[in-house]
Amino acid sequence: MDSPHGAAVKAEDFGLKGPRGWAFRGVGIDAAPGSLIAVEGPSGSGRTCLLLALTGRMKPTRGHAEVGGHHLPKRMTAVRRIAALGPVSGVNELDQALTVAEQLREGALLQRHYGAPVRAMLRPRAERRAAAEARIAAALEAAGLDLAALPKGERTSVRDLERLEAVRLSVAIALLGSPGLLALDDLDLKLSDTERVEAWDLLRSVAGRGITVLAVCSEAPADAIVLRTSPKEPDAPDAPDASDTPAVAESDADAEADAEADAEADAEADGGSETDTKTDTKTENDDTKGADDALAEAGRA
């Protein structure tokens, strides 16, 4: 793998509103490159939507953020290029029909196709294959996944992996592209207490390599920078941004398709104005529905 350079993550009054309410809002953070960031909260509180928004896969509707020097929402494509996304249900999942070796080769092929410079595609086939194998070996080592220890080695089916093994495989695939930001959803889902400790140790080791890590969880470790999400209580009316429209998440494949459109937006000046819009008086129930709506759009992206 190439030497990684972590992405600083900053946000102020960051929010996302769906058709029936807020998925999350009022998020603020200032994390240096190589930080370990945990998004903590109950299921349905907008955790996944926040992860997708900070990785450029879902367009925010309020406030602003900056990831690796790229401003959101104006430079979503640029953020997607430096932010590797682990499995998110309905957006970016491991293929249960593949073997571990096939999943790794597919990941390396996609990284080479979308992330490698053009000159790399012109190398002899044998040289490209050797480079891919070396990159996979380095990623597996960084993720702590020993293929020889799996029931059928590299021929083990993805569906037969233990939950922690699947997490390690996902991390290895994400690291193939030498990202500045690694994002994982539901890190501690279906893990025992011992496995949770191992999972966080893994992410600490990744952060120790200089890569910024963002992980959704139900309970954050004491040494992480914590972003907490929760259903909002009814509050005083506020004035959302003029861009207060339903959010749509984008898969990695869709990201390349709209790169040209985002590039045109990036060329515009960093100005903008806000206009008065209708006030928001959604209840706690609406906030939860807002998160569900946004994730439903993610599945259709």
* Alpha carbons 133 and 130: distance in angstroms, whole number: 5
pLDDT at residue number 218: 92
What would the pLDDT profile of 231-262 be if each residue is shown by its tens digit?
555 444 444 444 444 444 444 444 444 444 44
What would the pLDDT profile of 271-298 be if each residue is shown by its tens digit?
444 433 333 434 344 444 555 555 554 5
Are residues 244 and 60 in contact, defined by beta-carbon separation less than 8 angstroms?
no
Residue 264 has pLDDT above 50, yes or no: no
* Alpha carbons 204 and 213: distance in angstroms, whole number: 8
**Residue type for 72, please?**
L
pLDDT at residue number 268: 43
Residue 111 has pLDDT above 90, yes or no: no
Average pLDDT, integer, range 169-183: 95
pLDDT at residue number 127: 78
Left if phi > 0, otherwise alpha if psi is -120 to 50, otherwise beta: which for 77? alpha
Lowest mean pLDDT of 100-104, 112-116, 185-189, 237-241, name the range.
Answer: 237-241
* Alpha carbons 288 and 279: distance in angstroms, whole number: 18
Average pLDDT, integer, range 97-126: 76
pLDDT at residue number 90: 80
Q: What pTM, to 2 d.p., does this model score?
A: 0.75
Are residues 14 and 32 in contact, defined by beta-carbon separation less than 8 angstroms?
no
